[in-house]
């Protein structure tokens, strides 16, 4: 394009302006410039059909058999299928015009190369590449024609253009009469000139096609709205000058969200999820027409020669008659597809072709056909079949969204044709080799059955598309996105200067956070009721205490639901970060964190289930599954940090790279440990003690490896720090002070470990006394986001010790305070559900905090909080 594409939300009348145009020379240019692709295809297929018998004769210079002709036909169709898929995706990405020029070049080169064939394998390669060019033409041309022709004439124009295939077929057949005449040309030269003629015609078409514009519909979808407006203005001015009449006012506008390209997988998703019935319809129509058409067209020459003993020199005359019947069908019936309607006409033509094909097969079995009666009957059969086959391309190009049109055509053409178009010629080639008409009849019976299935599909799943705008038949995907974006904007909101992020992940994150706030509001309301019931309970209301407990459960449930939705929002936001990541390492890390957030959301869901379980056994099961999900989340977080450390190692050198690699190894072992603990919790939920013990042993192995790796990283860090300090100061005094500081940290760590051992022993005594299940707070392992990246600090006992110390230090610094204020001082809202309550209980038990009232605490008399172990550094 002449200008850079700018993507945003756009409201335009371009489709309505194109649909209201009267017929003019501009539209004839479209028909001539683009519709000639079917003449080329007809020329290609008919040349092969006409010269098929000649290629199998001795002295032709290729050495092919009747079976090789069938193989060549199948290879040509396979190339067309792959070409349609490959060039179809490029058509939707880079535009219609670029591709219908490129595919024509591919066709011309490959066709000329076919004329120099000297062996079957070379002939097959040339036919494959030629098929790719023709298949790409189908995708680019059908989409362009539908988008440039007015809606009221789209049906008949598309049908007739597709039927123009048979003009090429007739031209190929009649030219073959001269080129295959051995009195005029040698036996190994005439068929080569026939292929060369196709290349010459392609060059003529390329000259005409240069004047065909790009599709304005494609242009405004892909961010070139200004150029599209200029193009449509020019077309309207040209049409007014040619017709001498003013144009009527355009109809409704359409709002779209512009995008660059649609991935192939989304085409399948749109077809099979949003439009499943239309997908079945497209497949059935293409398989039906492809099987019968490719089988008969590619093999008609060999049928006439092998079954009716027609001389190869006269086969082209029969081909010309066959082609005439095929072209008359779309020409005479085409207008009825816009007046009578798509569904009755497509159904009728498919059923008529099926019935006549059955009659043809029966007469072949009984031996009642002569050459002329066979040609008359097959001409009438394909009078209807040709119109039906043309309608398959029309249908698929209409019933799917605009952004996917070229690739949708390619997709169904490739799938349908690969199923029917390849098997048909192969099967008929084998049947014809028998030389028995009764055997060939079985192929016609099969073709009739498949055509009938196509008619049934249209009858049940057909779409009423006559004289309707393409945007009304299938709303563009970008229009759906624009509507969803508008639905999320508050009423009366003014557009911001910066364009909002309306990606599906962003919308999902906003929705999750909105619902989370609603649940927090419910939780606050329940807490308000709890306070009311507490007052009434103090006044002697016996029912108030029980109702208070119910409200406490509801409040906790609402809080956990809010936390779950917040984690889901975080998962969506991490996926957005992955899309925007600058490096592969950042992308992988963001995706791992997204999965971790989803696992945490799952853990909170299981906690809610545990709280509301009908019995103790179910509660224990859900609690174990919650712990398993939490461990999986920790594993994912460790994997994310391992990916980040690996990326850093690739960027660093020397000791710093060694430290980063060591950190990656450490995080990897922590990940394995958490994964094993998750499996242990799942086994505990399933009451499998053996598996619990096995996974816990494996977790211990990975824990020790992680600690070993962490120690090695710490050693490397200390060596690096020592080297840096020595280089900066060069004094022994600083080294001595560092050693003393290290000794002091080790002393503090030993004191911390002693406190932890005492705490663990006390817990074990409590569990043996049967009280553990009634204690508040998390289980033996829990998790807080700020613990990440600290190596061994992920151990739950070390985390508990740090939190207990934080509570004691806050009380010593601020004196007596309320429970709520104390939680704010230590930042308890970042600890997670139940964490502050558990740490406060430990502080009271150890004498580091003294309760003064139900919700008020003070430091113990003449007590100084234990020194920090320095691990926060």
pLDDT of the residue at 628: 86
* Two structure tokens written together for 693: 């013990």
pLDDT of the residue at 263: 61
Closest CA to 143 of 396, 345, 472, 466: 396
pTM of this prediction?
0.50
Task: Kindly tell me the sign of the dihedral angle through the C-alpha atoms of 520, 522, 523, 529.
Answer: positive
pLDDT of the residue at 790: 40
Residue 233 domain-assigned? yes
Asked if 100 contacts 141 with a C-beta cutoff of 8 angstroms, the reply is yes
pLDDT of the residue at 53: 67
Residue 250 domain-assigned? yes
Integer Cα distance of 189 and 804 in angstroms = 97
Integer Cα distance of 446 and 862 in angstroms = 99
Q: Confidence band (pLDDT; 50, 70, 90) for 787?
A: very low
Q: Confidence band (pLDDT; 50, 70, 90) for 868?
A: very low
pLDDT of the residue at 413: 78
Span 826-847, mean pLDDT? 81
| Secondary structure tally for the chain: helices H, strands E | 31, 5
Q: Is 339 exposed, middle or buried (0-12, 13-18, 19+ CB in 10 A)?
A: exposed
pLDDT of the residue at 183: 74
* Two structure tokens written together for 67: 């079976």
pLDDT tens track for 399-410: 887 767 777 777
Q: Is the pLDDT of residue 872 over 60?
A: no
Span 824-842, mean pLDDT? 80
Q: Is the pLDDT of residue 658 over 80?
A: yes
pLDDT of the residue at 257: 63
The last residue of a domain, from among 477, 492, 520: 477
Domain CATH code at residue 72: 1.20.1250.20
Closest CA to 132 of 91, 97, 82, 95: 82
Integer Cα distance of 423 and 785 in angstroms = 60
Q: Is the pLDDT of residue 650 over 70?
A: yes
Integer Cα distance of 380 and 390 in angstroms = 16
pLDDT of the residue at 821: 85
Span 823-842, mean pLDDT? 80
Q: Is the pLDDT of residue 249 over 80?
A: no
Q: Is the pLDDT of residue 443 over 60?
A: yes
The last residue of a domain, from among 434, 459, 477: 477
Highest mean pLDDT: which range of 456-465, 788-797, 855-864:
456-465
Residue 682 domain-assigned? no
Span 704-716, mean pLDDT? 87
Residue 215 domain-assigned? yes
Q: What's the N-to-C CA distance of the chain in angstroms?
A: 57
Integer Cα distance of 35 and 33 in angstroms = 6
Residue 121 domain-assigned? yes
Placement of tokens 């490397």 in the chain: 716
Range with lowest mean pLDDT among 51-60, 336-345, 479-488, 801-810: 479-488
Asked if 375 contacts 321 with a C-beta cutoff of 8 angstroms, the reply is yes
Q: What is the DSSP letter of 772?
A: G
Give the domain range for residue 862.
Answer: 745-873
pLDDT tens track for 410-432: 778 777 777 776 677 677 767 76
pLDDT tens track for 153-163: 888 888 888 78
Span 290-314, mean pLDDT? 73
Residue 198 domain-assigned? yes
Q: Confidence band (pLDDT; 50, 70, 90) for 456?
A: very high
Range with lowest mean pLDDT among 9-23, 130-144, 610-624, 726-740: 726-740
Across the chain, mean pLDDT equals 78
Radius of gyration of the chain (CA): 39
Span 477-488, mean pLDDT? 55
DSSP string, 358-400: HHHHHHHHHT---HHHHHHHHHHHHHHHHHHHHHHHHHHHHSS
Q: What is the DSSP letter of 440?
A: H
Q: Is the pLDDT of residue 672 over 60?
A: yes
pLDDT of the residue at 211: 78
The last residue of a domain, from among 433, 453, 477: 477
- Provide the CB-side half-sphere exposure for 825 (13 A, CA): 21
Asked if 186 contacts 57 with a C-beta cutoff of 8 angstroms, the reply is no
Degrees (nearest 5) of the Cα angle 392, 325, 362?
A: 85
What total number of domains does the chain contain?
2
Closest CA to 307 of 421, 174, 441: 441
Residue 821 DSSP SS3: helix
Span 686-702, mean pLDDT? 88
Q: Please give, one letter per residue, the 3-state secondary structure of 445-506.
A: HHHHHHHHHHHHHHHHHCCCCCCCCHHHHCCCHHHHHHHHHHHHCCCCCCCCCCCCCCCHHH
pLDDT of the residue at 128: 92
The 10 Å Cβ neighbour count of residue 204 is: 10
Placement of tokens 């070390």 in the chain: 798
* Two structure tokens written together for 740: 């003393």
pLDDT of the residue at 50: 65
pLDDT of the residue at 129: 92
Q: Is 803 exposed, middle or buried (0-12, 13-18, 19+ CB in 10 A)?
A: buried
pLDDT of the residue at 205: 80
Q: Is the pLDDT of residue 474 over 80?
A: no
Span 623-629, mean pLDDT? 85
pLDDT tens track for 500-531: 555 677 777 888 888 888 888 888 888 888 88
Residue 503 domain-assigned? no
Q: Is the pLDDT of residue 610 over 70?
A: yes
Task: Kindly tell me the sign of the dihedral angle through the C-alpha atoms of 290, 293, 296, 299.
Answer: negative
Span 93-102, mean pLDDT? 80
Listed in sequence order, the residues at least 6 apart from 825 whose beta carbon sits closer than 8 Å to its beta carbon are 810, 814, 817
Q: Is 143 exposed, middle or buried (0-12, 13-18, 19+ CB in 10 A)?
A: buried
Listed in sequence order, the residues at least 6 apart from 493 whose beta carbon sits closer than 8 Å to its beta carbon are none
Closest CA to 570 of 506, 632, 515: 506
Q: Is the pLDDT of residue 1 over 80?
A: no
Residue 238 domain-assigned? yes
Span 430-458, mean pLDDT? 81
Q: Is the pLDDT of residue 26 over 80?
A: yes
Q: Is the pLDDT of residue 714 over 50?
A: yes
Calculate what percentage of the chain has a pLDDT beyond 70.
Answer: 83
């Amino acid at each position: 394009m002449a200008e850079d594409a700018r993507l945003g939300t756009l409201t335009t009348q371009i489709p309505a302006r194109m649909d209201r145009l009267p017929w003019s020379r501009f539209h004839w240019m479209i028909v001539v410039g683009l519709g000639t692709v079917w003449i080329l295809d007809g020329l290609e297929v008919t040349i092969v059909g006409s010269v098929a018998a000649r290629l199998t004769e001795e002295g032709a210079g290729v050495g092919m058999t009747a079976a090789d002709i069938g193989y060549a036909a199948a290879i040509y169709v396979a190339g067309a299928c792959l070409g349609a898929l490959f060039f179809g995706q490029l058509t939707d990405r880079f535009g219609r015009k670029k591709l219908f020029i490129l595919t024509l070049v591919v066709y011309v080169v490959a066709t000329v190369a076919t004329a120099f064939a000297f062996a079957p394998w070379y002939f097959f390669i040339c036919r494959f590449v030629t098929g790719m060019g023709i298949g790409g033409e189908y995708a680019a041309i059908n989409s362009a024609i539908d988008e440039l022709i007015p809606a009221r004439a789209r049906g008949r124009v598309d049908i007739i253009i597709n039927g123009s295939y048979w003009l090429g077929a007739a031209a190929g057949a009649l030219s073959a009469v001269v080129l295959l005449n051995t009195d005029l040309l040698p036996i190994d030269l005439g068929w080569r000139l026939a292929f060369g003629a196709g290349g010459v015609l392609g060059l003529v078409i390329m000259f005409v096609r240069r004047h065909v514009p790009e599709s304005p519909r494609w242009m405004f979808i892909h961010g070139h709205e200004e150029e599209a407006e200029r193009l449509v203005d020019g077309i309207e001015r040209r049409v007014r000058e040619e017709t001498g009449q003013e144009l009527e006012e355009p109809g409704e506008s359409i709002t779209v969200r512009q995008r660059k390209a649609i991935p192939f997988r989304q085409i399948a998703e749109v077809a099979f999820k949003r439009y499943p019935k239309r997908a079945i319809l497209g497949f059935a129509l293409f398989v039906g027409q492809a099987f019968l058409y490719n089988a008969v067209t590619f093999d008609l020459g060999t049928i006439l020669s092998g079954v009716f003993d027609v001389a190869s020199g006269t086969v082209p005359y029969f081909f010309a008659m066959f082609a005439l019947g095929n072209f008359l069908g779309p020409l005479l019936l085409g207008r009825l597809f816009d007046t009578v309607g798509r569904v009755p006409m497509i159904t009728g033509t498919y059923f008529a072709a099926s019935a006549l094909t059955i009659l043809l097969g029966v007469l072949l079995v009984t031996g009642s056909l002569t050459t002329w009666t066979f040609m008359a009957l097959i001409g009438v059969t394909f009078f209807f079949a040709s119109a039906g086959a043309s309608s398959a391309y029309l249908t698929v190009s209409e019933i799917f969204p605009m952004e996917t049109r070229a690739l949708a055509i390619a997709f169904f053409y490739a799938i349908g044709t690969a199923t029917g178009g390849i098997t048909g010629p192969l099967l008929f080639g084998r049947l014809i080799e028998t030389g028995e008409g009764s055997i060939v009849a079985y192929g016609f019976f099969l073709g009739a059955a498949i055509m009938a299935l196509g008619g049934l599909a249209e009858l049940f799943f057909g779409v009423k598309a006559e004289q309707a705008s393409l945007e009304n038949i299938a709303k563009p995907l970008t229009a759906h996105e624009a509507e969803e974006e508008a639905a999320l904007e508050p009423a009366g909101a003014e557009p911001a200067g910066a364009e909002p992020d309306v990606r599906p992940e962003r919308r999902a994150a906003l929705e999750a956070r909105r619902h989370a706030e609603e649940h927090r509001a419910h939780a606050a309301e329940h807490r308000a009721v709890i306070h009311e019931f507490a007052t009434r309970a103090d006044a002697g209301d016996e029912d108030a205490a029980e109702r208070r407990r119910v409200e406490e459960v509801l409040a906790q449930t609402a809080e956990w639901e809010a936390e779950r939705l917040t984690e889901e929002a975080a998962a969506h936001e991490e996926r957005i970060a992955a899309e925007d990541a600058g490096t592969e390492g950042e992308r992988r890390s963001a995706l791992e964190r997204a999965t971790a957030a989803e696992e945490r959301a799952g853990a909170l869901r299981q906690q809610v289930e545990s709280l509301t379980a009908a019995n103790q056994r179910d509660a224990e099961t859900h609690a174990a599954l919650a712990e398993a999900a939490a461990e999986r989340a920790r594993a994912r977080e460790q994997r994310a940090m391992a990916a980040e450390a690996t990326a850093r190692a690739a960027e660093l050198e020397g000791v710093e790279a060694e430290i980063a690699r060591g950190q990656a190894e450490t995080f990897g072992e922590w990940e394995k440990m958490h994964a094993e603990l998750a499996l242990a919790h799942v086994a505990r939920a399933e009451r499998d003690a053996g598996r619990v013990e096995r996974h816990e042993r494996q977790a211990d192995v990975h824990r020790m490896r992680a600690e070993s790796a962490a120690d090695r990283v710490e050693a490397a860090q200390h060596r690096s720090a020592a080297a840096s300090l020595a280089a900066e100061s060069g004094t022994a005094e600083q080294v001595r002070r560092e050693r003393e500081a290290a000794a002091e940290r080790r002393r503090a760590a030993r004191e911390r470990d002693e406190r932890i051992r005492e705490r663990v022993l006390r817990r074990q005594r409590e569990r043996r006394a049967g009280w553990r299940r009634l204690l508040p707070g998390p289980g033996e392992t829990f998790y807080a986001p700020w613990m990440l990246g600290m190596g061994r600090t992920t151990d739950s006992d070390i985390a508990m010790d740090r939190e207990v110390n934080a509570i004691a230090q806050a009380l010593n610094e601020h004196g007596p305070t309320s429970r709520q204020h104390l939680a704010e001082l230590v930042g308890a809202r970042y600890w997670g559900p139940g964490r502050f309550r558990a740490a406060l209980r430990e502080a009271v038990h150890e004498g580091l905090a003294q309760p003064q009232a139900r919700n008020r605490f003070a430091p113990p008399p003449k007590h100084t909080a234990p020194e920090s172990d320095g691990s926060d550094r």
